Chains A and B, each alone.
Chain A
Amino acid sequence: MIEATPQTQVRPQARAAAGRERITLGAFSLSAYAVALYLFLYIPIVILVIFSFTRDEFGVRWTGFTLEWYVRLFNDARMMGAALNTLYVAVASTVVSTILGTLTALAMERFRFRGRGAVDSLLYLPIVIPEIVMAVALLAFSALIFEIIRLVTGINMRRSLTTVTLAHIAFSISFVVIVVRTSLKNFDMRLEEAAADLGADRWRIFWRITFPLILPGIVGGALLAFTLSLDDFIISLFLSGPGTSLLPVEVYNKVRRAVTPEINAISTLMLLLSMILVVLSQMVQRRK
C-alpha cells in the first residue's frame, strides 16, 4: 500500500531538517513533561520531610527548625515497640518466603510436569487478587483454625505476630518466585553441563555453580519480600492482634485523627529506609 503523501514529495534534505526540528521540539516538551511528573512524585515527599523538622505543633507550617519530634518519637514506647514488631515480622517472613520461593522457582524452571500450568496460576493469583480479599480470607481462616484448636484442646489462641508473619509469607512467596525465576531464565545451562562433564555431582553443581550465579536474584527477591512486609498495611491491620501493633497500623491510627509532626518524623524515617533498600537492590542487580 503506497500513498503519495505530501511529505514524501518534499526534497530529502529539507525533510530531514524539518524532522530534526520536530524531534528536538518533541524531545524538549517530553523532557519538560517528565520533569513536571517527577516533581509531582517528589514534592509531597519532600514536604513531608521538611515538615518533620518544623516547630509547628500541627506539623503543617514552617515556624523554625527542631529535632524535638524525633526525640519524642524515640521516647514513644508504643511506636518503638511497633517498629520492633514490624522488623521482627519482616525478617521472619523474608527468611521463610525466600527459601520457599527459591525452591519453588527451581522446580518451575527446571522441570516439566503435569499440573505445571495450574501451579503457575496459583503462583500468580496472590498478585492479581486485591490484598483486602486475601486479608479477610486469612482472618476468617485464622478464626476458624483457632476455634477448632479451642474445641479439640481447650487452648484459647489469639491473633499475634505469628499470624501476621504467616500471612506475609503467603503473599511474599509469589514475588520471590518471579524474581528468582527471571534470574534462572537468564542462566546458561551449559555451565552446569560442563561441571557435570568434569565429574561434579548434583549437590556440588548446585552450591558451586548454580547458587552463586542466581544469588543476585535470590537477594533481589529477599529485598522485595522484606520491603513488602515492612510496608504492608492491609493484611497487618486485619491479622495483628490487640496487643501486637505494627508500625503502619500505628501510623494509620494516628493519621486518621490528624496531621502531627511526630508522624512526619516516623514517615521520614520509613522513607529513608525504603531509599536504602532501593539502592541496595539496585547494587545487587547491577553486579550481575
Chain B
Amino acid sequence: MAPQPLADELKRRDRTRLAGLLSPGLFYLLVFFALPLVIILLYSFLTNGPRGNVVWQFTLGNYIDLFTRSIYVNAYVRSIVISVQTTLICLLLGYPLALFIARSPQAWRVPLLILILIPFWTNFLVRIYAWQIILANNGLINNALSAVGIGPMGLLYTEGATLLGLVYGELPFMVLPLYAALDRFDFNLMEAAADLGANRRQAFMRVMLPMTMPGIAAGSVLVFVPTIGQFVVSELLGGAKVDYIGNLLQRLFLRSNPPNWPLGSAMAVIMMAVLLGLILLYFRSTTEEDR
C-alpha cells in the first residue's frame, strides 16, 4: 500500500483529472440547457404585458387558463391521443420488421439495417413533405383516381393524413431499438419454450415479449416524445385545421400579435411534466413485468 501522503497526492490528481474532463460539458449543459428550463419555469408564473412583454408580477393565471379553457385542454388531449396512437401503430408495424431483420442471414442484416438508417438520418421535414406530392388534390393518388373516373378525394389536410405522416416519420425510430433488443435475444429460448409445451403464442407472450421489453420501452419513448410536441406534420399534412400543443406553442412564442411567453412557458412546463410522468410510469410498469 502506498504511504498516506502519496495516496492523498494520487487522489488529488484523480480529482483534478475528473474535474478537467467533466466540468466543460457539465457547465455547458447547466448553462444552455438546465438554466433555460428554470427560466421558463419562472416565466410560467409571471404576467404577460400588453405589448407581449413579460411583466415581473407573480400569477397562477397561466396555469388556471390552461386547465380550464377548452382550447388548451383539447389541445393537450389531442396531442396525447395522437401520440399514443402513433406509438402503438409504430410498435405493431415495427416489431415484425425488426424481427425479420434480426432473423435474416448475417450478410443481409447490414444492408437491411442501412435501409432503416437512411430514413432515420434523413430530414424529417423532407420526408413529410414527400407525402404532400402523393396526397394533394392534384397529387399522385388523385391523378390515378381521376384516370379511372373517381375523385378527387380530399386526402391531404385531414387528421388521417397527420397520423399517417407521424407513423411514417417515426417508424425508423421504433425499429432500431427493437432490432437492438431482438438482436440480443437468444432464439433458442423459443425452442426451449416449445419443448416445454408452450404454444407459439405462449412462447411469444411469456419469453420473447418480456425479454425484448427494454427495446419496446426505448422505441416507444423515441416515438412518443417528438410526437407530443409536433406541429409540422399537423400543419403540412393536417392543414393546421385543429390545434395540437406544438401549434399553440409556436403561435404563442413566435406568431401571436402580441405573443404570450408566460402562457407558452406554462404550456411547455405542463408538457414536460406530463411526459416525464408518463415515461416514469411506463418504465416502472415495464420493469415490473420483467420480474
Contact = CB atoms under 8 A, between A and B. Distances in A.
A104 to B, nearest CB: 3
A218 interface: no
A107 B17 CA distance: 8
A128 B140 contact: no
A44 B131 contact: yes
A225 B132 CA distance: 29
B118 A275 contact: yes
Interface in B246-275: 246, 249-250, 253-254, 261, 264-265, 268, 271-272, 275
B232 interface: yes
A136 B268 contact: yes
Contacts of A101: 25
Given A233-B125, A271-B126, A30 B25 contact: no
Interface string A1-27: 011010110000000000000000001
A7 B21 CA distance: 61
B39 interface: yes
A133 B226 contact: no
Interface in A27-65: 27, 30-31, 33-34, 37-38, 40-42, 44-45, 47-48, 51, 58-61
Contacts of B118: 274-275, 278
A141 to B, nearest CB: 4
Contacts of A222: none
Contacts, number: 240
A179 interface: no
Interface stretch (B28-36, B63-71, B208-216): B28-36
- The residue among B29, B100, B139 with the most chain A CB atoms within 10 A of its own CB is B29
A252 B126 contact: no
Query: Could you tell me the dominant secondary structure of chain A's interface residues?
Result: helix
B-side interface size class: 35 or more
A18 to B, nearest CB: 12
Contact of B32 (A107, A108, A169, A256): A169
A119 B117 contact: no
B33 A126 contact: yes
Contacts of B279: 128
A282 B229 CA distance: 30
A139 interface: yes
Contact of B25 (A8, A45, A103, A231): A103
A133 B253 contact: no
A255 interface: yes
A230 B24 CA distance: 24
B73 interface: no
B110 A177 contact: no
Given A103-B22, A133-B229, A263-B129, A169 B28 contact: yes
A51 B143 CA distance: 14
Interface string B227-239: 0111110011000
Contacts of B121: 227, 231, 274-275, 277-278
Given A129-B275, A144-B39, A255 B253 contact: no
Contact of A44 (B127, B199, B265, B275): B127
B271 A44 contact: no
A125 interface: yes
Given A167-B32, A251-B129, A233 B124 contact: yes
B172 A255 contact: no
Contact of B39 (A37, A140, A278): A140
Given A30-B99, A282-B114, A259 B39 contact: no
A225 B43 CA distance: 30
B96 interface: yes
B134 interface: yes
A-side interface size class: 35 or more
A238 B36 contact: no
Contacts of B37: 133, 137
A137 B272 CA distance: 12
Contacts of A7: 197, 199
Contact of B136 (A138, A170, A259): A259
B96 A47 contact: no
B25 A134 contact: no
A131 interface: yes
A196 interface: no
A97 to B, nearest CB: 9
B171 interface: yes
25 contacts: A38-B115, A41-B172, A44-B131, A45-B119, A47-B133, A48-B133, A60-B143, A104-B26, A106-B21, A122-B29, A122-B33, A128-B275, A128-B276, A130-B272, A131-B229, A133-B229, A136-B253, A141-B39, A166-B32, A174-B29, A231-B123, A233-B124, A233-B125, A259-B139, A275-B118
Interface of A: 2-3, 5, 7-8, 27, 30-31, 33-34, 37-38, 40-42, 44-45, 47-48, 51, 58-61, 99-101, 103-104, 106-108, 110-111, 113, 119, 122-123, 125-134, 136-141, 144, 166-167, 169-171, 173-174, 177, 227, 230-231, 233-234, 237-238, 248, 251-252, 255-256, 259, 263-264, 267, 270-271, 274-275, 277-279, 282, 286
